[in-house]
A and B are shown apart, each in its own frame.
Chain A
Amino acid sequence: MPKSIDELQSIARKIRREIVVMIGAAKSGHPGGSLSAVEILVELYFDHMHIDPKNPTLLDRDRFILSKGHAAPVLYAVMAEAGYLQTPVDQLNTLRKLGSVYQGHPDVRYIPAIEASTGSLGEGLSLALGMGIAARLDGRKSRTYVMLGDGEIQEGQIWEAAMAGAFHKLDNVVAIVDNNRIQLDGFVKDIMAVDPLADKWRAFGWHTIELDGHDIPAIQKALAEAEATKGKPTCLVAHTIKGKGVSFMENNPKFHGTAPTPDEVKLALQELQ
């Protein structure tokens, strides 16, 4: 059942509340880069991807890899709300606790439907290429989406993979850069500038689309364009706001890797109604 833009936006607001609450309960985690990625994951899991949460091993399913694995809370909340049995909504607040399926970074041993264990930055794009090559060899329509952080692409392996993706003409792979412009130590431009971002991907042979990563119709349009693009992989450079939706977290490097206090959780939830 296709969802309206309003419905998707409403889901996004709910996901944001869950992210803030679960990281607050965990007392550690990465709220900023989880909140910046909400609309993209909501659009993928609730609208765009060919998946069946009740049948996560579906052979020709689309796959999503959260290469920036520290944003695990957004993935957990989205999968939980999407109805995967392995990600119960009522356990989201066990994030990062001993025995929880909601590990600090995505872990397929606990949640097989997650597609890939990530957390060591720079690796997800290569995994996506492997999945894309396998799908092509098998003649499956399966497409693979991989979300990268803008800080993450400082890793050299990303560019090894970028070369390989274009060389192998993997038009069933889509890289999405969550360009929120902040990394752990501060603003990306001050730590190790990655601009001009879109030009880099184009130079590496990727069809590259820049968009507002919080604008659901724009995400839908870009994903459709990616799907229509043949003979080369597509990179979506999604301009986003770190900490989006919570005023005191927005554009604040502190909330890359700091959990909100109980009072901050209350304030955030008021803003996210």
Chain B
Amino acid sequence: MPAKTKFEIKLGPATREAFGRAIVELGRENKDVVVCDADLSHSTMTTYFAKEFPDRFISLGIAEANMCAVGAGLAMAGKIPFVSSFSAFAMNKGFEQLRTCAAYPHVNLKVVGTHSGISIGEDGPSQMSIEEIGLACSLAGFVVIAPADEAATKALVKAAAAYVGPVFIRTGRPKAAIVYGADQKFEIGKAIQVADGTDVTIIASGLLVAQSLLAADTLEAEGISARVIDMHTAKPIDREAIARAAAETRAIVVAEEHLVDTGLGVRVAQVVAQTRPCPMEFVGIQDTYAESGQPDELLDKYGLVARDIAAAARKVVARKS
């Protein structure tokens, strides 16, 4: 096993920006790719697509329920529609339409939520989406993806377009720390081990993958060897990677920018319970709504930074029998 190199935060583009760029590339490759937006294209970054493919950019106004169902209709007629809004609006206002028009008939609709989590910052809780992984995973047959950085987003948006069936992709507003090199391969449903370790496994998604890598360095200095897994696909979840982590490290922390009640953590716990039960801890939003502030301040205040992940890891390691 190669010696660990210390992880350093180098900011890359936001995952929403990566989505906006990826969808343009997809539009060039496939004329059936269309984009629907609900008056947020300058924030979701579908504005790039709108500029290059005005005929295939469908403005639907501030009406997310209609947008989600129009997207389903486009898919039923053979298109590969990407509907996009803030996660809070696409998923909460469009949920019933995603359920009945997309999930139940299993249509080829792609939903991209931006401004996910509390790291959107100043706009505050009405715009913050902290429940959409749970909601999306409640849509039977949906693939649910939360990429960590630009490279992951670009690759997984393309993978979503190639996959036939409904997909939800969660992206964020702030610049995202670079986790991956250009040669990294991504596959829907296949977790990526971004750091190896033997004493505890940290399973993370989105912005918290980079924070988990920072936490692993802190733990390493204390003599705790932490494995870090990027579980970019919450559904279908990589059972094999979880079972292996549970068997080999016997302690698991799940870290996510989402309510702990319904997010990645509960899905991981289900697999752990079914395979090799072991102590677990959960880093996430604890039954509350956040507030306005700068993204970094909020992530710090609500317990979603490397410090919190390291503390959870120490706690779970102490619980190992």
Instruction: Please judge, given known A-B contacts A117-B105, A137-B55, whether A127 and B63 are in contact too, CB under 8 Å.
Output: no
Check if A137 sits within 8 Å of B60, measured CB to CB.
no
Instruction: Please judge, given known A-B contacts A119-B100, A123-B97, A135-B77, whether A164 and B66 are in contact too, CB under 8 Å.
Output: yes
Check if A157 sits within 8 Å of B60, measured CB to CB.
no
Check if B100 sits within 8 Å of A161, measured CB to CB.
no
Point out the residue from A108, A134, A163, A168 that lies within 8 Å of B73, measured CB to CB: A134
Check if A133 sits within 8 Å of B76, measured CB to CB.
no
Residues from chain A with Cβ under 8 Å of B63 in the complex:
157, 160, 163-164
Check if B70 sits within 8 Å of A161, measured CB to CB.
yes
Residues from chain B with Cβ under 8 Å of A126 in the complex:
65-66, 68-70, 72-73, 97, 101
Q: Is the interface of A mostly helix, strand, loop or mixed?
A: helix
Q: Which of A118-141 contact B (CB under 8 A)?
A: 118-120, 123, 126-135, 137-138
Bound-state Cα–Cα, A116 to B76, Å: 8
Is A109 an interface residue when CB atoms closer than 8 A count as contact?
A: yes
Bound-state Cα–Cα, A195 to B208, Å: 53
Residues from chain B with Cβ under 8 Å of A63 in the complex:
77
Instruction: Please judge, given known A-B contacts A108-B105, A120-B96, A129-B70, whether A160 and B65 are in contact too, CB under 8 Å.
Output: yes
Residues from chain B with Cβ under 8 Å of A250 in the complex:
none
Residues from chain B with Cβ under 8 Å of A120 in the complex:
96, 100
Point out the residue from A116, A132, A142 that lies within 8 Å of B105, measured CB to CB: A116
Residues from chain B with Cβ under 8 Å of A127 in the complex:
69-70, 72-73, 76, 101
Tell which of B58, B61, B105 has the most Cβ of chain A within 10 Å: B105
Check if A117 sits within 8 Å of B78, measured CB to CB.
no
A217 to chain B, nearest CB (A): 31
A221 to chain B, nearest CB (A): 28
Q: Which of A187-239 contact B (CB under 8 A)?
A: none
Residues from chain A with Cβ under 8 Å of B34 in the complex:
133-134, 137
B284 to chain A, nearest CB (A): 31
Check if A130 sits within 8 Å of B81, measured CB to CB.
yes
Residues from chain B with Cβ under 8 Å of A142 in the complex:
77
Is A264 an interface residue when CB atoms closer than 8 A count as contact?
A: no
Bound-state Cα–Cα, A156 to B64, Å: 11
Bound-state Cα–Cα, A156 to B66, Å: 9
Check if B55 sits within 8 Å of A130, measured CB to CB.
no
Bound-state Cα–Cα, A108 to B108, Å: 14
Bound-state Cα–Cα, A157 to B70, Å: 11
Is A167 an interface residue when CB atoms closer than 8 A count as contact?
A: yes
B159 to chain A, nearest CB (A): 23
Is A115 an interface residue when CB atoms closer than 8 A count as contact?
A: yes
Bound-state Cα–Cα, A123 to B97, Å: 7
Point out the residue from B74, B96, B105 that lies within 8 Å of A131, measured CB to CB: B74
B22 to chain A, nearest CB (A): 21
B93 to chain A, nearest CB (A): 10
Residues from chain B with Cβ under 8 Å of A164 in the complex:
60-61, 63, 66, 70
Residues from chain A with Cβ under 8 Å of B289 in the complex:
none
Is B267 an interface residue when CB atoms closer than 8 A count as contact?
A: no
Is B315 an interface residue when CB atoms closer than 8 A count as contact?
A: no
Point out the residue from B65, B75, B100, B106 that lies within 8 Å of A130, measured CB to CB: B75
Is B79 an interface residue when CB atoms closer than 8 A count as contact?
A: yes
Is B263 an interface residue when CB atoms closer than 8 A count as contact?
A: no
Is B56 an interface residue when CB atoms closer than 8 A count as contact?
A: yes
Q: Which of A223-262 contact B (CB under 8 A)?
A: none
Bound-state Cα–Cα, A116 to B105, Å: 8
Bound-state Cα–Cα, A117 to B74, Å: 14
Residues from chain B with Cβ under 8 Å of A160 in the complex:
61, 63, 65-66
Check if B105 sits within 8 Å of A134, measured CB to CB.
no
Point out the residue from A108, A123, A134 that lies within 8 Å of B74, measured CB to CB: A134
Cβ-closest chain B residue relative to A115: B76
Cβ-closest chain A residue relative to B60: A164
Cβ-closest chain A residue relative to B97: A123
Q: Which of B104-120 contact A (CB under 8 A)?
A: 104-106
| Known A160-B66, A161-B66, A164-B63; further 17 A-B contacts with Cβ < 8 A | A116-B76, A120-B96, A123-B100, A126-B65, A126-B69, A127-B70, A127-B76, A128-B73, A130-B70, A130-B77, A130-B81, A131-B74, A137-B79, A138-B78, A157-B63, A157-B66, A163-B63
18 contacts between A and B (CB under 8 A): A107-B105, A116-B73, A117-B105, A120-B100, A127-B101, A128-B73, A129-B66, A129-B73, A130-B69, A130-B71, A130-B72, A142-B77, A157-B65, A157-B97, A160-B66, A161-B69, A163-B63, A168-B58
The 5 closest A-B pairs by CB, nearest first: A130-B73, A126-B69, A134-B77, A160-B66, A160-B63
* Chain B residues within 8 Å of A, Cβ to Cβ: 34, 55-56, 58, 60-61, 63, 65-66, 68-79, 81, 96-97, 100-101, 104-106
